[in-house]
Amino acid sequence: MPGTALVLSARDIAEYFLTFSEELDSGEGISNLKLQKLLYYAQGYYLAAFDSPLFQDPIEAWTHGPVVTGVYHTYKDFGSNPITPPSNFDPEKIPAETRDFLDEVYDIVGQYSAWKLREMTHNEPPWKNTDNGEVIPQSAMRDYFQNLVDDSGA
């Protein structure tokens, strides 16, 4: 199972996506809003696939969708602008299997704009069924994403 020997933080995953985005995005970059949604989808798909969290940081239901508070505050000064990728992040600190998993998540949802991802999360039960400011239960995310995985035949 990917990531079991190493405890990753949401910040590790965020930095990976930000580093990863330089290669794949056509100059658009990743805003804080989009980064938050990428973390939510990575956590949700990971919970569904491995019945274990990718990272321990809680994800809260905020007005604009799911948010990892600590990561939000780290990058809030960028506003809605693209976040500058970290220059000192070593992607190798994330196990290869987990990087492959994150690459797949990015392939699935990274193609969408921040606002499209926001709208997608607003139509999904984990966010819809959680009061604003409350932690979205990992069990709700796992169950929802498990249904997505099951329905896709993956």
Give the global pTM: 0.91
3-state secondary structure labels for all residues of the chain:
CCCCCCCECHHHHHHHHHHHHHHHCCCCCCCHHHHHHHHHHHHHHHHHHHCCCCECCCCEEECCEEECHHHHHHHHHHCCCCCCCCCCCCHHHCCHHHHHHHHHHHHHHCCCCHHHHHHHHHCCHHHHCCCCCCECCHHHHHHHHHHHHHHHCC
Query: pLDDT digit string (tens) for 3-12?
Result: 444 679 999 9
Query: pLDDT digit string (tens) for 1-41?
Result: 454 446 799 999 999 999 876 554 456 789 999 999 999 99
Query: pLDDT digit string (tens) for 72-130?
Result: 999 999 999 999 988 888 989 999 999 999 999 999 999 899 999 999 999 999 999 99
Query: pLDDT digit string (tens) for 42-69?
Result: 999 999 999 999 999 999 999 999 999 9
Domain residue spans in the chain?
Answer: 10-152
